[in-house]
Structure 1
Amino acid sequence: MISKPEFESKQIVFVLLNEGEKIAFSNDNIIVKDKDGKIRHQSTCYRLFMLCLIGNISITNAVFKAARKFCFLIVLMSSSMKTYEMLGGRMEGNVILRRKQYAYSGLELAKHLLKNKVENSRQLLMAERNKSEDVKLSIARLDEFVTRIRSYTGELSGLLGLEGLSAREYFKCYYRDIEWKGRKPRIKCDFINSTLDIGYTILFNYIDALLNAFGFDTYCGVLHREFYMRKSLVCDLVEPFRSLIDMQVRKSVNLKQCQPEDFTNRNGAFLLKWENNGKYIGFLMQPILQKKVEIFMYVQSYYRAFMKGKKAEEFPVFVVR
């Protein structure tokens, strides 16, 4: 199982692939060659944690063997940066952990994760320099949601309802100075929603890779319960960290790094142009890389708390800064 000192030296690599390019393994290195056979990218397997390949590519058998041997994950993504497969190194056979996952049925961990998410949303609003009355009102309402979540004793569906209401309150306030139609996941009705989707996907893949490194069944969650082919536990542990992407997207819009012209509008959906993928990965990865070790430590602490059967209040908390 990976330790903090080992993880600190690991890399997350994104490769944007052009037509005819191939990926191969040679001398403990992953190599990307263009259609003429020239080396375009090279990474040592000893430092890889996650290799994200965007676009169509030809992969040799040796690459999959290398991923297993050196325990790094290969994430295959479409040109629109939607993940369609994850291959390679995983921590397998952690039977005790998975038995504990399958035996858990309470709501306390779900409340803990959701409370952490809402508190971070509140923190972003608190960081506003000039707080209007609308901002102050939204902060007060988020405080109420935290209190309601903490004391909640009903069914899971009601808890998810509180999550939706708190998110609506937060989003309408946080992006109030930008052209904003409200948060509409996966619909991509404007460039901000589309950018948020891309950022959350990158974050999702990173959390997924970390959970696999500890041997979790990523389909077995505590807030998002079992649903066919949904990685519910990854959805759970993404929640406290969504604020990192929210903060970066607003910053990038204000800095004109993120603009409507970077997208094509196809049947009402804003789709990022291929030539802009590198730029968007660059700025959306910034907060994740800045907090890379902190996120790792969170997942490690979550694993240890789960294995020891600790109370929900003893599980880790991520505080956005």
Structure 2
Amino acid sequence: VIVSGNGVSLSSDVISACCREGIPIHFIDSRGQPYAGLYSAGLTGTVLSRREQMAAYLDKRGLQVGLALARGKISNQAAFLRYMAKYRKEAAPDQYEALCQKAEKVLSHVQELEQIKGACIDEVREQILSVEGRAAHHYWNAIDTVLPAEYNWPGRQGREASDPLNAALNYGYGILYSQVERALILAGLDPYAGYVHTDRPGKPSLVYDFIEPFRVPAVDRVVIGLANKHVSLNLDERHLLEEGTRRMLAEQVLARLEKPERYEGKRTPLRVVLQDQARHLTTFLRSEREIYEPFIVKW
């Protein structure tokens, strides 16, 4: 259950029913930022998983997770650029070539990740973030070339963005945050104990880590697709998305999570992939899995 906006009330009966059924309740603000969540106490998983999660921060497991998630993020950014390129090969060959070149440039940063060595995540965190940042620069520059001029895209901006496309992306990511947090908790992990993103009070750093490979397939593809269909993304006088636009985006992102993706030899809803990946992360941290492989789209 996702509660968005102001003036929404939930009865104790509704909360109790959700807890009995194992349904989490997420609260997000008008910008899509999660600010609270309610979970049943029975969803916390085993203590062993969390102990291993903490211990992994100090050894190579945390480093391997950080590198894997960064590789997944960059690979999916490149895949999305290639996906957009193939639909422009005949109609816009120049744009096709430019997108293909940008995709290769983005993907080249995976090789940089492969060169990063260390004993734990603390030794190489800044290197990983630097590689991610350079890949993102090329990715968003490429996205700029496919967006209709009517949206006045100023480039990628974060939380305080005042243009419709960035506001839509941020809102979509907020919805995805709630889904990622749910998946991690169901897998028995602590969403506040991450690896690449450092610990900060009240910030679910593992959510920020784990969301990275899923931003493109769950949100970017939705929002950029809406833009290319010239769908109106309306802002109010405070430069926040209007309620109708927020509702439409939530429906689109949640519907996208139900769409099947090629995963481990079969077609699997993206939401199920997300949960399965969280469980894979848990078994890796518990040394029940040799390697953690991130989800990489096959478009």
TM bucket normalised to smaller: 0.7 to 0.9
CA contact (8 A) 1:125 1:139 kept: yes
> Who wins on radius of gyration, i.e. which is larger?
1
What is the Cα-based RMSD across aligned positions, in Å?
2.0
CA contact (8 A) 1:302 1:316 kept: no
Equivalent-residue separation in structure 1 for 2:295 and 2:246 (angstroms):
32
Amino acid of the structure 1 residue aligned with 2:235: F
Amino acid of the structure 1 residue aligned with 2:13: A
Structure 1 residues 275 and 140: alpha-carbon distance in aligned structure 2, compared to 1, 3 A threshold: closer
The residue aligned with 1:100 is: 52
Structure 1 residues 93 and 214: alpha-carbon distance in aligned structure 2, compared to 1, 3 A threshold: closer
| 2:118 pairs with 1:144 | no
The residue aligned with 2:229 is: 255
Report the CA distance between 1:99 and its aligned residue: 0.7
Q: Which runs of 5+ in 2 are unaligned?
A: 90-94, 118-122, 260-269
For residues 308-319 of structure 1, what are the structure 2 equivalents within 5 Å?
Answer: 308=287, 310-312=289-291, 314-319=292-297
Structure whose residues are more often strand by fraction: 1
The residue aligned with 2:79 is: 123
Q: Which runs of 5+ in 1 are unaligned?
A: 1-50
Report the CA distance between 1:132 and its aligned residue: 4.2
What's the CA shift string for 1:172-222, capped at 9, x where partnerless?
102313242211111213111100001111111001111111221101112
For residues 197-208 of structure 1, what are the structure 2 equivalents within 5 Å?
Answer: 197-208=170-181
CA contact (8 A) 1:120 1:243 kept: yes
Equivalent-residue separation in structure 2 for 1:287 and 1:60 (angstroms):
29
Structure 1 runs (4+) deviating above 4 angstroms are: none
| 2:185 pairs with 1:212 | yes
The residue aligned with 1:299 is: 278
Report the CA distance between 1:282 and its aligned residue: 1.8
The residue aligned with 2:19 is: 68
CA contact (8 A) 1:64 1:88 kept: no
Equivalent-residue separation in structure 1 for 2:245 and 2:102 (angstroms):
34
Amino acid of the structure 1 residue aligned with 2:21: F
Classify the secondary structure of the residue corresponding to 1:96: helix
For residues 1-321 of structure 1, what are the structure 2 equivalents within 5 Å?
Answer: 51-54=1-4, 55-90=6-41, 91-92=43-44, 94-105=46-57, 106=60, 107-127=63-83, 128-129=85-86, 130=89, 131-153=95-117, 155-178=124-147, 179-244=152-217, 245-259=219-233, 262-266=234-238, 270-290=239-259, 291-308=270-287, 310-312=289-291, 314-321=292-299
What's the CA shift string for 1:209-245, capped at 9, x where partnerless?
1111122110111221212211011111110111121
Higher relative contact order structure (alpha carbons within 8 Å, sequence separation ≥ 6): 2
Amino acid of the structure 2 residue aligned with 1:254: N
CA contact (8 A) 2:56 2:285 kept: no
Amino acid of the structure 2 residue aligned with 1:121: Q
CA contact (8 A) 1:52 1:77 kept: yes
